[in-house]
Amino acid sequence: MSTSPKYAPYSPQAIKANTISVESLGVQYNIHSVRITWVDLANVTSFRVVPLKSFHRLLASSRPGITIAQCVFGFVINRTAPGFGPIGEYLFVVDLSSIRLCSYAPGHVSIMGWFQDKVPAPGRVLGTGVPMCPRSALHRIVNTAKSYNAAFLVGFETEFILLKSTDPIEGVNPHGWNSARALPSGTKETEVIEEIARGLIESGIELMMYHSEAAPGQYEVITGPLPPLEAADALVHTRETITNVASKHGFRATFAPRLHADNCGSAAHTHISVHPINSEHPSKSPAGTSDNLITPLESVFLAGVLRHLQACCAFTLPLRASYARMLDGIWSGGTWVAWGRDNREAPVRLCVPAASLDPNPATNAPSKNHFEIKCVDGTSSPYLVLASLIGSGLLGIQSQAPLVEQDCATPAALMTEAEREAVGVTRRMPMSWEEARAALKADEELKGVLGVLVDGFLSAGELLDELLRSPASEMKKVQMLVEYF
């Protein structure tokens, strides 16, 4: 009888990104081009292609990177947002730990990096990330959490729709959730999905599962947990793989939040687990309390996330179109600030593992819980999403804030006001783009954690909104949305 290979349990100490070394590029993988890649405040992925010989010459410098105009963060669809001008350059320094094969572009690899001051700037240490750099902000927040004995793993569900036409908008098939008819052998859509799956695996990303989703032409890929920065990098690479493989076959892959009111939307459900760094794992909360399923560390982290969730929505749901998906009764997280055990009508779902059949499980084993944040879609920057959510949880850890909201065992929208008050559910989620941005502007604690990039994000978002609303008809607006996202 065969036995399955043994795998170590997921933990921040054991799980690392499966990237490749710079030494292997020209010999083992026959690479000829390097895509130096970044994501701006409007969640546009950009890159510059450097031939391998020039890349090695670049690495010989003391600060290996390329210069990019400082307006890069406010450059939105060929226009510059207020507050971003023509003066100044950053040095975008490559991160050699982030190299991944571009399976969709043979001979190419992608590498991420850090935006840094090109020359010394007042009050800043040369060689550190500039305050406007989202990737640097996430890195800083994660490192701060380590000093509070907290580390994280993050995994993503990436939903997208394959379109065979954008004018008119038409999915590749009409089939729905988990349907075998959505992935029949010999069809072009099955070929595309299988090529995406192979490409992710070849690039070192753990592909856990893929399947069809509920809307016409909709699919989902689920990737495994990584530390936050590596998880964000992997999500960018996942989206690039999906988009490019679809394009190669004549399709358009869109992460737009919702294309039709009578069908499900597309999300980027974000799974976060929080772990103590030292070997002494805290005991579970006392039985009989509202949070007896979670550890004290998980409790204060969750309290922080819920306290600042309304403001986080400005990052996690960054477009007007994002709010067409966030409704009650469609299993997308609902409209109340709440959490619940396996409750898909709460914006934060506590995912509890299956009970063990072991009659003598270790009593002090680490928690295997994680939180699924449902109020996230694919138009959002993963760096800003994780910086805001983990930054919020960090505020809870720092303050040891009590968890006000109790386990919501019933969809909050189906409760009476008195029933909601009894479980501490009293605040609504933002119901619009304007409400989310107003919540962010009013949240001084979260702005303090994130820094000046908040102002840049708000300015870039204002311009992006103006451009996405410019088409005269609703159909043209949707077409523009799917072209950019």
Neighbours of 321 (CB within 10 A): 22
Compute the distance between CA of residue 106 and CA of residue 240 in angstroms, rounded to an integer: 14
Q: Compute the average pLDDT of residues 207-218.
A: 91
pLDDT band at 15 (very low <50, low <70, confident <90, very high): confident
Model pLDDT, residue 282: 47
Model pLDDT, residue 2: 45
Reduced to 3 DSSP states, what percent helix, strand and coil does the chain have, rounded to the nearest 5?
Answer: 35, 20, 45
Please report the sign of the dihedral spanned by the C-alpha atoms of residue 480, residue 481, residue 482, residue 483.
positive
pLDDT over 60 (residue 72):
yes
pLDDT band at 113 (very low <50, low <70, confident <90, very high): very high
CA dihedral of 448, 453, 455, 457, whole degrees rounded to 10: -130
pLDDT over 70 (residue 289):
no
Instruction: Supply φ then ψ for residue 413, to 5 degrees.
Output: -65, -20
Model pLDDT, residue 78: 81
Q: Compute the average pLDDT of residues 284-299.
A: 65
Q: Rounded to two decimals, what is the model's pTM?
A: 0.94
The 10s digit of each residue's pLDDT in 247-274 is 999 999 999 998 876 777 889 999 999 9
Q: Which of 243, 263, 266 is nearest to 253 (CA)?
A: 243
Compute the distance between CA of residue 387 and CA of residue 449 in angstroms, rounded to an integer: 9
Compute the distance between CA of residue 414 and CA of residue 449 in angstroms, rounded to an integer: 35
Q: Compute the average pLDDT of residues 358-379.
A: 78
Which domains, and CATH codes, for the chain? Answer: 22-130 (3.10.20.70), 144-353+366-484 (3.30.590.10)
pLDDT band at 333 (very low <50, low <70, confident <90, very high): confident
pLDDT band at 215 (very low <50, low <70, confident <90, very high): confident
Asked if residues 197 and 210 have their Cβ atoms less than 8 Å apart, the reply is yes
The 10s digit of each residue's pLDDT in 41-60 is 999 999 999 999 999 999 99
Model pLDDT, residue 137: 97
